[in-house]
Copies of this chain bind each other. A is one copy, B any other.
């Protein structure tokens, strides 16, 4: 039986799904689960507000329940690919499969690559929401700072502008806030990871990759346990 890990973009912007899908290529290996990236069609174009977050939690639960029902054990696990980890704990209740959030996994993975974690948010308004999440996770003391790009999810399509802002904000995190590892606070920036890493001379964590990596391990271990 082929097992599939579903990586779900809770926003409806296919370009974001495509961006992290491409970033997951290295994690697609013969013996591992299939990795299928899905877009929540009924989601908003971007998750920018708390209302956006709440608007996708039940749809995510239903989507996961539907996949579970349709595929049974072949649906092996789920990643919620939005840096606000919408519905994470509700989805965990709704399925017995591993469910990972990219915010939690991005930060936890960064904690193995540096001592002071800098986070690059897309929008300033998300930072208090992320702060609540870091507090809930009990890791607020490891966050050097979170700074915003000040770009909309859609604006990220302008690669030059995005690069310029990423480098600028990354340098601020490194030089002013002493971050020694950077987390990209968004699901759609995989293509910039290696470039930014080289630019800053610091490890950069792409959180969808981080969560997918942790999910794959969980799936392999769970499958063996059956």
Q: Does A194 contact B (CB under 8 A)?
A: yes
- The answer to whether B139 touches A27 (Cβ under 8 A) is no
Chain B residues, Cβ within 8 Å of A87: 54
Q: Which residues of B contact A109 (CB under 8 A)?
A: 108, 214
Which residue of the partner chain, among B30, B129, B141, B212, contacts A217 with CB atoms under 8 Å? B212
Q: Is the CB of B114 within 8 A of A26?
A: no
Which of A37-45, A130-138, A150-158 makes up part of the contact surface? A130-138
Q: Which residues of A from 177 to 226 have beta carbons under 8 Å from B? A: 178, 180, 194, 209-210, 212-214, 216-218, 220-221, 223-225
Q: Which residues of B contact A12 (CB under 8 A)?
A: none
Knowing A128-B180, A135-B138 are in contact, say whether A90-B217 is a contact too (CB < 8 A): no
Residues of A within 8 A of B (CB): 25-32, 49-51, 53-55, 57-58, 61, 87, 89-90, 92-94, 100-101, 104-105, 108-109, 111-112, 114-116, 127-129, 131-133, 135-142, 178, 180, 194, 209-210, 212-214, 216-218, 220-221, 223-225
Q: How many Å lie between the Cα of A139 and that of B217 in the bound state?
A: 22
* In the complex, chain B residues whose CB is within 8 Å of the CB of A142: 137-138
How distant is A82 from chain B, measured CB to nearest CB, in Å? 15
Question: In the complex, what residue of chain B is closest to A105 when comparing beta carbons?
Answer: B112
Residues on the B chain within 8 Å of A225, using CB:
26, 194
A213 surroundings in chain B (CB, below 8 A): 213-214, 216-218, 220-221
- Does more than half of chain A's interface fall in helix, strand or loop, or is it mixed? helix
- A221 contacts B29, C-beta separation under 8 Å: no
Whether the Cβ atoms of A217 and B220 lie closer than 8 Å is no
A133 to B115, CA, bound (A): 11
